[in-house]
């Protein structure tokens, strides 16, 4: 603890340094030559509540990313989609699925108890639901509809839809491909995570997870890591570690790895299309290092949607989506403030390259609307 105190808040950090450092660690200052699997591991996963979100998320970070590469990782069981941080579906490496699912179990249990589904599941014994659900999925993978039928017959006093949602929190379940494979479509099919990967859950070292979180999202506070993960009780873990500490402009103390490099606040940032639900926007208690407060509600809606965003000079400056019609695909940009001609040209070029990767056989266009 004495060593930790010696590092306390001796250096100040301005907003642009925080911004550039986050972009650097998120591989958004310049694309990396590392493969998709290594990048998924470095980022500690990508949110995949919408199955397609990780694809542009990786494309904007990985030089030469092919949309087929990620589907191959899923099919070969080197990556997997399951409920993890914040009780949302993430795509993670196989090794991280086993680590993170073990670590996050208390949060998933707590999250379900506070969910809309808890009352509907109360009519069934938890242990019996787990045992019966595991037995069903050991026989074969099942869709949510198939699980609802089986669970409804076995536990008639409970809401079968609530029991399926309970299983997602109580039992480590993988969403099996082709769900999540680009262009393949397909509904959700659940399998037991440990059976799918052929390995048991692995207890992680929480301090190692702190180090990995800071490597991808730091400098940050325990409250920031809690926002990213949903886990509580992180402050003592930070307190036991040898970390360098800084003071943000608003007085918050932020921690970092002792040898981690801060980015130059003046470094230029290329135009970037950030995926919808990207953890870049969701992993800090104070998100102003990337999203100006005036824009936050336009990006993160009241019903939980997090729109794809454009970065101009490193900060969120608008939203984007892809509109598809027969034989055509367009990136539709909505910008919150006027764009310079150079920014518009850069975003147009980046958007056309994104469409070439995602929709190679279509006619391509990038449109701009003030919003």
Q: How confident is the model at residue 89 (pLDDT cuts 50, 70, 90)?
A: very high
Band (pLDDT 50/70/90 cuts) for residue 178 is very high
Do residue 256 and residue 351 come from a single domain?
no
Mean pLDDT (the chain) is 95
- What is 221-279 written as a DSSP string? -HHHHHHHH-----HHHHHTS--EEEEETTS-EEEE-TTPPPPPTT-----EEEPTT-T
pLDDT at 8 over 60: no
CA–CA gap between residue 254 and residue 369 (Å, rounded): 37
Query: Quick one: 78 and 189 in the same domain?
Result: yes
Is position 143 within any domain?
Answer: yes
Whether the CB-CB separation of 232 and 226 falls below 8 Å is answered with yes
Say whether both 231 and 126 belong to one domain.
Answer: yes
Share of the chain above pLDDT 70, in %: 97
Can you give the pTM of this predicted structure? 0.94
Under a CB-based contact definition with an 8 Å cutoff, are residues 339 and 303 in contact? no
Q: Is the pLDDT of residue 7 over 50?
A: no
pLDDT at site 317: 98
Whether 98 and 197 have beta carbons less than 8 Å apart is answered as yes
53 and 136 belong to one structural domain: yes
Residue 25 placed within a domain:
yes
Over residues 118-122, the mean pLDDT reads 97
**Residue 94 confidence (pLDDT):** 98
The reply to whether 250 and 328 lie within a common domain is no
Give tens-digit pLDDT for 324-336. 999 999 999 999 9
Q: What's the average model confidence in pLDDT over 242-258?
A: 95
Of the candidates 307, 279, 348, 242, the residue with the CA atom closest to the CA atom of residue 86: 279
The band of 10, judged by pLDDT with boundaries at 50, 70 and 90, is low
| Pair (228, 359) in one structural domain | no
The closest alpha carbon to 279, from 70, 117, 91, belongs to: 91
Helices (H), the chain: 2-6, 15-25, 36-42, 54-59, 67-75, 94-103, 105-113, 118-121, 126-139, 144-154, 160-170, 193-197, 206-217, 222-229, 235-239, 293-299, 341-358
156 with 195: CB under 8 angstroms?
no
Domain extent, residue 106, equals 1-264
Boundary residue ending a domain (264, 280, 314): 264
**pLDDT at residue 1, rounded to an integer:** 37
What's the CATH number where 330 sits? Answer: 3.30.70
Domain count, the chain: 2
The verdict on residue 276 lying in a domain is no
Structural domain includes residue 273: no
pLDDT, residue 29, reads: 97
Per residue in 137-163, pLDDT tens? 999 999 999 999 999 999 999 999 999
Q: Please report the pLDDT score of residue 9 as a whole number.
A: 43
**pLDDT tens sequence across 189-204:** 999 999 999 999 999 9
What are 335-359's pLDDT values in tens digits? 999 999 999 999 999 999 999 999 9
Claim to verify: residue 172 and residue 56 sit in the same structural domain: yes
């Amino acid at each position: 603890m004495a060593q930790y105190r010696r590092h306390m808040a001796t250096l100040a950090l301005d907003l642009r340094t925080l911004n550039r450092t986050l972009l650097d660690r998120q591989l958004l200052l310049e694309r990396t030559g590392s493969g998709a699997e290594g990048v998924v591991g470095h980022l500690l996963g990508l949110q995949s509540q919408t199955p397609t979100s990780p694809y542009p998320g990786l494309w904007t970070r990985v030089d030469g990313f092919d949309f087929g590469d990620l589907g191959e990782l899923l099919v070969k069981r080197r990556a997997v989609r399951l409920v993890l941080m914040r009780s949302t579906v993430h795509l993670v490496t196989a090794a991280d699925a086993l680590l993170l699912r073990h670590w996050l179990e208390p949060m998933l249990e707590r999250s379900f108890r506070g969910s809309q589904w808890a009352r509907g599941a109360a009519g069934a014994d938890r242990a019996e639901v787990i045992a019966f659900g595991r037995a069903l999925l050991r026989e074969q993978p099942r869709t949510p509809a198939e699980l609802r039928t089986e669970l409804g017959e076995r536990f008639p006093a409970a809401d079968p839809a609530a029991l399926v949602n309970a299983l997602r929190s109580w039992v480590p379940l993988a969403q099996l491909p082709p769900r999540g494979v680009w262009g393949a479509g397909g509904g959700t099919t659940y399998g037991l995570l440990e059976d799918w990967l052929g390995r048991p859950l692995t207890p992680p070292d929480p301090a190692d997870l702190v180090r990995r979180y800071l490597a991808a999202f730091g400098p940050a506070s325990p409250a920031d890591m809690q926002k990213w993960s949903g886990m509580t009780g992180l402050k003592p873990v930070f307190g036991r570690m040898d970390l360098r500490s800084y003071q943000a402009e608003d007085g918050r103390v932020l921690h970092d790895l002792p040898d981690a490099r801060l980015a130059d606040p003046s470094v230029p940032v290329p135009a970037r299309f950030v995926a919808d639900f990207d953890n870049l926007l969701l992993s800090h208690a104070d998100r102003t290092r990337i999203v100006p407060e005036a824009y936050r509600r336009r990006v993160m809606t009241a019903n939980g949607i997090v729109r794809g965003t454009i970065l101009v000079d490193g900060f969120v400056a608008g939203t984007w989506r892809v509109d598809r019609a027969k034989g055509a695909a367009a990136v539709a940009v909505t910008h919150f403030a006027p764009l310079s001609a150079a920014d518009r040209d850069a975003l147009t070029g980046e958007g056309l390259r994104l469409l070439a990767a995602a929709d190679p056989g279509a006619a391509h266009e990038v449109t701009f609307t003030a919003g």
